[in-house]
Amino acid sequence: MNSTIARLVGGRLAVGVLTLLIVSLVVFFLTSLLPGDAVQEQLGQEATAEAVAALRAQLGLDLPVHLRYFNWLGGLITGNPGISLVNGMPVDDMIASRLPNTLKLAAVTTLVSVPLALTIGILSAMYRGSIFDRYSNMLAVFAVSVPEFLIATIAVLIFAVKLGWLSALSRSVEVESFGELVRIYALPVLTLCCVLTAQMARMTRAAVVDQLSASYVEMAILKGARPIRVVLRHALPNAIGPIANAVALSLSYLLGGVVIVESIFNYPGVATLMVNGVVTRDMPLIQACVMLFSLGFLMLVLLADLCAILSNPRLRK
């Protein structure tokens, strides 16, 4: 069993590295297609030809593009993603100062949304067609379709401006008590959970319903197993594969996709860092962020696959 898993994981890792390499190529050449460069953005309305040329030479932007690519890739492999073109800070420092925030928000959101989504999904699968199922289904579609900024803005208006219970910003760096933690994280987590929980709950429901219609479940019911036992002991283990994948996909979104939530609540995470990078044409920063997101995504998918393998005796052999 161990050798099978090792082989599978090894294969996945190899594919992952290859994927990252391709991503690096795409990212590098796509970002160089962006109109304007860091120098023009920096000098803005005051850009004169000689100032632009001098600054470009200083930043090494006058080298041919393939040379810049290999320099950058070499740096990346040796753990040095370069220096920001915009403020001269090392890119890894910039990311290191933001990444813990992103991970914290992602962790809290995961802790709230995953159990909630699984519970809702399983319950609505068990009682499909019931009032609970129909309403949770409707709510889920509603939550998925309402844009995040609307949820966030309305939540701020109600809880921060009108009621004054929670903070409109989530930027306070010093979290001292549990109450403080709740005050600060409640609104962004609520906003993110609306979207994520709905997606994951629907996927869970679909996966479990699929299993519940299988003949082995019928057999278990005929043998007299109680509904809870049928679902948890028999159906769920077989549904873990697709559920894990759905969860992984949703969570990967928390790494780099929460731009709107970060900017509305002024939360200093990696997503706004990357948007900043795009706006100021800070290529090393954009590239490092994209590579980081790709890496996170690949790892999550790998974890989901592992879950699926471990829960499936046929694959485990």
Residue where the block lists tokens 């100032």: 51
Interface pattern 92-111 for another protein (x via CB under 8 A):
--x--x--------------
Report d(CA 110, CA 241) in Å as an integer: 18
Among residues 7, 66, 134, 171, which is the contact residue for another protein, using CB under 8 A? 171
For 21, 77, 94, 242, 262, the CA distances from 204, given in Å and listed in that order, are: 33, 38, 37, 8, 28
Among residues 268, 303, 307, 310, which is the contact residue for another protein, using CB under 8 A? 268
Q: Of 221 and 278, which has the nearer Cβ to another protein?
A: 278
Among residues 32, 80, 137, 276, which is the contact residue for another protein, using CB under 8 A? 276
Q: Give burial (CB, 10 Å; 0-12/13-18/19+) of 1.
A: exposed
8 Å CB contact between 189 and 108: yes
Structure tokens at 300: 């999550």
Beta strands in the chain (DSSP E): none
Interface pattern 137-166 for another protein (x via CB under 8 A):
------------x--xx--xx--xx--x--
Closest residue by Cα to residue 251 from 81, 117, 161, 134: 117
Question: Within 10 Å of residue 136's Cβ, how many Cβ atoms?
Answer: 20
Instruction: Provide, rounded to whole angstroms, the least separation between the CB of residue 215 and another protein.
Output: 53
Instruction: Provide, rounded to whole angstroms, the least separation between the CB of residue 89 and another protein.
Output: 7
Site for another protein contains 136 (CB under 8 A):
no
Interface pattern 226-265 for another protein (x via CB under 8 A):
-------------------------------------xxx
Residue where the block lists tokens 């900024």: 149
Among residues 73, 103, 169, 303, which is the contact residue for another protein, using CB under 8 A? 169
Report d(CA 262, CA 42) in Å as an integer: 24
Q: Of 96 and 111, which has the nearer Cβ to another protein?
A: 96
Interface pattern 16-55 for another protein (x via CB under 8 A):
------------------xxx---xxxxxxxxxxxx-xxx
Q: Count of alpha carbons within 13 Å of 285, Cβ hemisphere only? A: 27
Positions touching another protein (CB under 8 A) are 34-36, 40-51, 53-55, 58, 84, 86-87, 89, 94, 97, 149, 152-153, 156-157, 160-161, 164, 167-169, 171, 263-266, 268, 272-273, 276-280, 282, 285
